[in-house]
Structure 1
């Protein structure tokens, strides 16, 4: 009977061999773990059902190493069903560097680059996944911040370009405001900048408040928002604020304007809680751009006003007087109407300065300016031609009307109050203009001034008419 000799090959199923194989697998895992810990913030293995069989994340995610063993990987991916691409913890293909937002233990999210490979049984069946993750949250947030900054820069560039496309930057604000609202997805908005009110010597009103509306709500809501923008700031910080009013989510911004009252802007969307801080920051930056244009406009208006008006009395100065009379002459010629210029000099004004001081002299000039303004019609003009010399333009008045007015000035003088009551007398020169002559303003001033000086040389407190008229 033949006997088969015992095989020299060890039995692969012997307890000794199973133990050696397990030791080898554990050693392999320890080596893999040691290597991956050098570069990875997350090390994991899952079984065929997507449950964690090994998990280690250190402090990156806040989970304890054994807290998730046996738990479904979907705990870290609450939105996995809606996310594009495969679940990295249940992938059947090799995954290299897929960005994935992983839920931390505190409920926040971290962005990880996931590297994973599927595990298979000897028969080729899927048995799980082994992989690692590298935390790139700082980079992701930095990229997001950079993207937001680039978007903000592009929007500011576009609205600035829109404003510069207009001849006056103020005229470019409404279309730029509309563009801002469209880019932010606002349902409506209001922009307001109050300007100092008052009436000039020419009778022209200053510009009204800039109020621009993008209708996107009911009239009462628009009125309520405008009223809120007009409320005094009471020293509050000029930071964008979020308000929730009548079902609208509102961003309200204010910006200081040195030569105007503050500019204010409101934008709103339908619904609550739909604005973010990035939106508020962009709206605030845009308002600063609008405010700069408004400030430049106010400065230009101030400079233009100072170029035409006397800063001490608020009257038209010589240049302003010439410009305004020149503007009126063509109308007078068309209507065949006259006009008369009175040049008025104060008698012995130097004595006022010597007796009471220069500040009192300035006060005297201001009081005389008020007296002369009150003595003429709203359609006439009053100006300070220089020093103690004033000018009155009687629009449409002939020589006889002007002579009556001059006689009243010379008889009554002007009662002013300094350290004690003082009555000033006037020397008045008249120059009448007929529509037939086409005489210019400079010639009128020269003739009236010459007549006024002749009165002064004669002792003052009288009036004299220049009878010469320049030819057309």
Structure 2
């Protein structure tokens, strides 16, 4: 027996030292795997039952090896035996795969073939490969990105196309936290390091080009055999556009609700002035502004008008100064059409919209925000533009209302208050005097011999005289006083906060100013003059309004009976019963 080559070698002898081997034919027949004895011509001498039961190993209707085995044996390149490799058969009922081993026998040219059937293993492997490919395709279809993190929370695997503008190689070994958008709120637990399964988590990442992207993430935690957290695995898809569309739709719906609420509230007001006041309040709250102003122009933007003058008609909340308002209003003529615009001042950010009616600028709405509030958005601008369209109608209604109100309260010939409007206002002031305790005076005036002017010169001259009389009274009273034409050639003046001395002095002024009327007399012996009666109201005497008016009227007729062209003071009122 040969000696081992060194002390480290095994004491097992080599096969060459063994006596010739004899095969146990019975044992070969009982093997579960196919075995066959072939000659030098590749003819089958004998085979066990397992071999004979596999029709694919033999050519149909013969005892010759199948072509696949013959081809495989040719790969031995002249060697008598050895491991040939895998031989695959693809019959109609399913693929079969065998590992082929050829052993050389002592008889020249004879070989023993051993085949190991691993068809099931191959099918399983192919099925696994196909399943993995299918799963990979499904992941790619159902999500934009797949990823995995390790125990250090860094990326260990990611889809080939990368994430947020970075390639897969750039992300491996990198913390996902570096991708987060710092300007967006992050979830309490990041999906990349989640200890529990999560689904539908919204996560904002900053793209490599600076854009903010929203991803919807689903993730599962990974644990090692000891139960320690070992990372996470998940998928995510880019839902930025979907989120923007949802946000836009929600913003539009909110704007519609806000628009409906704002317009319904101020349209519910019957009085146009109240409508504008309520609109200013509603806009302030609806737009989360510090304050708002609604302005009305006295010079509609029509041909020939080069400067627009706007006056604040309603305001609510905290607004800027008059000069700041003027700065914002100055931007309006530069705006195109009815578009709203943002005006930035030192301490304020304003959203300004013109109110256009029938193509004319009739007002504007200004919303004020200080620097602590959010910046105006495009949606705010669109909403205010729509609100301004409704306000334009409200402003025009207010204008029409006041025109009608002025017509109903004004004498068309002289422009003075008419009888109804005068007594309504006197009644309000009369009640106010009772509470304040102040004095007031009433002057009744009548033109003497006025009928002769009409008879001699005509009614046109008479109308001129009435207008001249109105100018005399109006030009010699204060803005707080009331002047009215009661009808025909009768006039009345309410002197606010006037005692007997003030009333008499005012009557003297009226008489002096009225001397110019004598030049228009209808007859020299019957000159055109003024007769006036004066009554002073003292709230301590508890006189009612009818008694007060009657005293002034009686004083005027007393002057007429005494020769006309003068004024007289009514005697004081008698103390009346105290009113509760």
Q: Aligned partners of 1:402, 1:227: CA distance in 2, in Å?
A: 42
Aligned residue among 171, 185, 209 for 1:71: 171
Q: Aligned partners of 1:114, 1:93: CA distance in 2, in Å?
A: 13
Aligned residue among 475, 491, 494 for 1:391: 491
* Residues 373 and 382, structure 1, Cα contact 8 Å, conserved in 2: no
CA RMSD of aligned residues (A): 6.4
Q: Aligned partners of 2:456, 2:331: CA distance in 1, in Å?
A: 47
| 1:96 counterpart SS class | strand
Corresponding position: 1:214 with 2:315? no
| 1:378 counterpart SS class | coil
Corresponding position: 1:305 with 2:406? yes
Q: What residue in structure 1 maps to residue 14 of structure 2?
A: none
Structure 2: runs of 5+ lacking an equivalent = 1-17, 35-84, 87-98, 100-117, 300-310, 496-502, 538-542, 575-580
Deviations 1:17-56 (A, max 9, x none): 8987765443222212444455x24142446452444346
TM-superposed CA distance for 1:70, in Å, is 6.2
Q: What residue in structure 2 maps to residue 233 of structure 1?
A: 332
* Residues 410 and 463, structure 1, Cα contact 8 Å, conserved in 2: no
Q: Aligned partners of 2:368, 2:551: CA distance in 1, in Å?
A: 54
* Residues 322 and 441, structure 1, Cα contact 8 Å, conserved in 2: no
TM-superposed CA distance for 1:120, in Å, is 8.0
Kindly name which structure, 1 or 2, has the bigger radius of gyration based on alpha carbons: 2
Corresponding position: 1:372 with 2:470? yes
TM-superposed CA distance for 1:428, in Å, is 6.9
Q: 1:212 to 1:403 in 2, by over 3 A?
A: closer
Q: 1:190 to 1:47 in 2, by over 3 A?
A: closer
Q: 1:85 to 1:19 in 2, by over 3 A?
A: farther
Deviations 1:212-243 (A, max 9, x none): 6638xxxxx85652441353732524544344
Q: 1:100 to 1:446 in 2, by over 3 A?
A: same
Q: Aligned partners of 1:434, 1:86: CA distance in 2, in Å?
A: 86
Q: Aligned partners of 2:322, 2:390: CA distance in 1, in Å?
A: 25
Aligned residue among 312, 322, 327 for 2:423: 322
Q: Aligned partners of 1:133, 1:466: CA distance in 2, in Å?
A: 97
Q: What residue in structure 2 maps to residue 458 of structure 1?
A: none
| Relative contact order, higher structure (CA 8 A, sep 6+) | 1
Aligned residue among 351, 357, 361 for 1:252: 351
* Residues 90 and 129, structure 1, Cα contact 8 Å, conserved in 2: yes
Q: 1:114 to 1:299 in 2, by over 3 A?
A: same
| 2:349 counterpart SS class | strand
Q: 1:349 to 1:99 in 2, by over 3 A?
A: farther
Aligned residue among 490, 514, 518 for 1:411: 518
Q: 1:34 to 1:55 in 2, by over 3 A?
A: same
Greater CA deviation, 255-264 or 440-449?
440-449
Corresponding position: 1:268 with 2:370? yes
Q: Aligned partners of 2:125, 2:214: CA distance in 1, in Å?
A: 35
Corresponding position: 1:28 with 2:127? no
* Residues 46 and 128, structure 1, Cα contact 8 Å, conserved in 2: yes
Q: Aligned partners of 1:231, 1:192: CA distance in 2, in Å?
A: 15
TM-superposed CA distance for 1:378, in Å, is 0.9
Q: What residue in structure 1 maps to residue 186 of structure 2?
A: 83
Corresponding position: 1:144 with 2:244? no
Aligned residue among 42, 46, 69 for 2:144: 42
Q: Aligned partners of 2:137, 2:509: CA distance in 1, in Å?
A: 107
Q: Aligned partners of 2:312, 2:195: CA distance in 1, in Å?
A: 70
Q: 1:122 to 1:191 in 2, by over 3 A?
A: same
| 1:84 counterpart SS class | coil
Corresponding position: 1:341 with 2:440? no
Q: Aligned partners of 2:132, 2:262: CA distance in 1, in Å?
A: 57
Structure 1: runs of 5+ lacking an equivalent = 198-206, 216-220, 354-360, 415-424, 453-461
Aligned residues: 414
The alignment's TM-score, normalised by the length of structure 1, stands at 0.58
TM-superposed CA distance for 1:411, in Å, is 1.9
TM-superposed CA distance for 1:403, in Å, is 10
